[in-house]
Chains A and B, each alone.
Chain A
Amino acid sequence: MATTRAQPAGTELPSPAPTPDAKTDLGPSRPRRKPRPPRAKAARLLLWALLGVVSAAFLYPLVWLIAASLKPRAEVFDNSLIPRTFSPENYVQVWDQLPLGHWVANSFLIAVLAATLVTFSSAMIAFGFAYFRFPGRNLLFGLVLATMMLPGAVTMVPQYLIWKNLGVLGTWIPLFGMNLFGSAFYIFLQRQFFLGLPRELFEAARIDGASYFGLFRRIALPLSIPSLVVIFIFEFQASWNNLQSALIYLNAGSVEGFTAPLGIAYAMTKYSPTNGGQGDYQYVMVATLLITLPMLVLFAFGQRHFIEGVATEGRKG
């Protein structure tokens, strides 16, 4: 899967399809074979060397993290990528040191709720924009896109006060409640997908007596499972990584009630010697690795979707 070329699906320009020839440097010059072979070879070597160096730089922190999580306290800082003393017991002790199980469970439940809600609400809203004709549709859809530009800092305080006045502070509702109302980028993605479905499909179902909601539930949703999955994993990642909301809504509560990011932030401080800790950073490293792994697994399964999704975000601009 890693080597499939993600491009063709999304390219809008009538550029030549990725023929095998398109893979070579600057296109043609290959068959002629004449022009300056030694220099071309050197350039190729340099290219690979550069790519290798950059890869090392990008991988180093992750490898370092794995190594550090396997070291005893005294060696965490020694920067060797192979621990001199292996201490896999970190992986056992960490569960007593930190309420990691609670954090992961909280984060997981919140992420599942957030992702499920936003997937269905966005799909429903997108179907409204894609299938039905009603006055002001284009204007409203323009507004949907415009909300993507609104900086979160502006609505942070009033949203907190709205949740407070609704009496739901101290619950998880503020962490995913907004997802009931859809999310602009997902609405945009899902609408694109719905617009690609042949309209005759829906007309035929109408003639057979399907209701409007029936069209959505029995035709639109089942046909769009691939794009719904994309939205789900996108939101799952966003929720799993969300620190700021947890800081606002959960920080005052008990440590067991933290999400994973908030928990790690807490642990980073807890073991710090300036806070009376022992400098047991190996536990922080284990916890950090354990909350990163689910994202890497998610990426392994959906990497094409992540990369295409980001590219789409750029294309609409």
Chain B
Amino acid sequence: MDVPARRSARRARPARIKYNRREALAGYLFISPWIVGFVVFMLGAMAYSLVISFSRYNLATNVARPVGTANYARLFDDPKVATSLANTLFYAVMAVPLEICVALGLALLLNRVGRGAGFFRTVYYLPKMTPAVATAAVFLLLLNGNTGAINQALGFVGISGPQWLIDPAWVKPSIVLMTLWGVSGTMVIFLAALKSVPKDLYEVADLDGAGSVRKFFYITVPMISGAIFFNVIVLTIAALQVFDQAYLLFWRDQTSSSPEASLFYGIYLFQQAFREFNFGFASAMAWVLFVLILLISLVQVRIGNRFVYYEGEKR
């Protein structure tokens, strides 16, 4: 059965391969669960979502009545949309660079330590294994403005800590702090990238008398730029959808201790969909978020292409 395939294996165009019909059919059968899932729960869901975003959905009758662009117009009229979007962007701009710097810093430390790195890596990874809800339950008490351990520690060095969970200015830093505690996933990706930088590059630089700062910026950063790029994109997408931490710290019981500052886009979308059951409006919000994420990712890719160095790439 392999004869036709073997003959065409001589670098023929892939399109010219003569497929074995039985084999092809079996292949489709094996991937059929994915095809069903993709068509129904991805493509179908997206198309459905687009239709609903132009409709008013009646939950009792399951009927979507077209309302034109009314839902999208409401996005501009509802001040909470702008607030939540601004909060989310502000959070992303603060969280992503900090996560990248802390994760890279820790990875550099671990990469240097040699023996014992396994132990520290395990310790740093533990928060990543802690369920978000557990992290939140602990930080809810640690961040307490009056009795929390974090403000007590700050008190020792003479700083009177803020009301983390109430003061609007400190709401986002609270969430950033929690996110940084679980930064080890990003760190592990950096660590893998650091390990794959060829050692001889550093040896050559040593011979040329380069200091460690120069080695970092002229060898390490370019060589791991692919990992930096990947992490920035993934963390940005995650930050724009921030939900769990914000919900647990601020929105467990419908009212928030700091309702303006803690209203993130994901929270408002969730409230509109599953508390108010405004599915049309929520779908419009979801599409705006999707387009926004797409645009931001595209810009990042455009910028990234200028800086990212891939081993073996032809210039």
A298 at the interface (CB under 8 A from B): yes
Q: Are A162 and B40 in contact (CB under 8 A)?
A: yes
| Count of chain A residues near B, Cβ 8 A | 115
Q: How far is the CB of A258 from chain B (nearest CB, A)?
A: 11
- Asked if A143 is at the interface (CB within 8 A of a chain B CB), the reply is yes
Q: Which of A5-13, A92-100, A222-230 contacts B (4 or more CB under 8 A)?
A: A5-13
Is residue B70 contacting chain A, with contact meaning CB distance below 8 A?
no
Task: Please tell me the number of chain B residues within 8 Å of chain A, measured between CB atoms.
Answer: 117
> Which residues of the partner chain B approach A307 to less than 8 Å between Cβ atoms?
121, 125, 188
Q: Give A123-162 as 1s and 0s: 1 = Cβ < 8 Å from B's Cβ atoms.
A: 0110111011111011010011001011111111111111
Counting residue pairs across A and B whose Cβ atoms lie within 8 Å, the total is 312
A22-B199 in contact given A79-B147, A132-B27, A151-B293 (Cβ < 8 Å): yes
At the interface, yes or no: B149 with Cβ under 8 Å from chain A? yes
Residues of B within 8 A of A260 (CB): 131, 133
The listed residue (B109, B197, B248) touching A268 by CB distance below 8 A is B248
Chain B residues positioned under 8 Å from A298 (CB to CB): 129
Asked if A147 and B125 make an inter-chain contact with CB atoms under 8 angstroms apart, the answer reads no
Select from chain A the residue with minimum beta-carbon distance to B292: A151
From B112, B199, B243, B266, A16 is in contact (CB under 8 Å) with B199
**Which A residues are CB-close (under 8 A) to B113?**
47-48, 51
The distance from the CB of A298 to the nearest CB of chain B, in whole angstroms, is: 7
**Given A77-B141, A265-B248, A164 contacting B62 (CB threshold 8 A):** yes
- A295 contacts chain B at the CB level, 8 A cutoff: yes
Interface string of B240-256 (1 = CB under 8 A from A): 11011001100011000
Contact status A157-B283, CB under 8 Å? yes
Task: Please tell me which one of the listed residues A16, A134, A144 contacts residue B28 in the complex, with CB atoms under 8 A apart.
Answer: A134
Whether the pair A132, B30 counts as a contact (CB closer than 8 A) is yes
Determine if A109 is an interface residue (Cβ-Cβ < 8 Å).
no
Q: Which residues of A (259-288) have their CB < 8 Å from a CB of B?
A: 260-261, 264-265, 268-269, 272, 275, 281, 284-285, 288
What 1/0 flags go to B130-164 for Cβ under 8 Å of A? Answer: 11111111111110100111001000000000000
> Which residue from chain B places its CB closest to the CB of A261 in the assembled complex?
B133
B3 at interface, CB cutoff 8 A:
no
- Tell me, yes or no, whether B274 is within 8 Å of chain A by CB: yes
Within residues 204 to 254 of chain A, which ones have a CB less than 8 A from any CB in chain B? 206, 212, 216, 237, 240-241, 243-244, 247-248, 251
Other than the given A182-B33, A292-B131, 12 more pairs (CB < 8 A) read A54-B124, A78-B147, A132-B23, A133-B17, A162-B45, A178-B41, A247-B270, A299-B125, A306-B125, A306-B128, A306-B129, A314-B192
Q: Which 9 A-B pairs have the closest CB atoms?
A: A181-B37, A128-B30, A132-B27, A314-B189, A317-B230, A134-B24, A23-B114, A311-B192, A128-B31
Q: What are 6 A-B interface contacts by the 8 Å CB criterion?
A: A28-B206, A54-B120, A61-B127, A154-B290, A296-B129, A317-B226
Q: B residues bordering A, Cβ < 8 Å?
A: 1-2, 5, 14, 17, 19-20, 23-31, 33-38, 40-42, 44-46, 48-49, 52, 57, 62, 106, 109-110, 112-115, 118-142, 144, 147-149, 152, 181, 185, 188-189, 191-193, 195-200, 202-203, 206, 226-227, 229-231, 233-234, 237, 240-241, 243-244, 247-248, 252-253, 266, 269-270, 273-274, 279, 282-283, 286-287, 289-290, 293, 297, 311
Seen from chain A, the residues whose Cβ lies within 8 Å of a Cβ on chain B are 2-5, 7, 10-13, 15-16, 22-29, 47-48, 50-51, 54-55, 58-62, 64-65, 68, 76-79, 121, 124-125, 127-129, 131-135, 137-138, 140, 143-144, 147, 149-162, 164-165, 178, 180-182, 187, 203, 206, 212, 216, 237, 240-241, 243-244, 247-248, 251, 260-261, 264-265, 268-269, 272, 275, 281, 284-285, 288-289, 291-292, 295-296, 298-299, 303, 306-307, 310-311, 313-315, 317
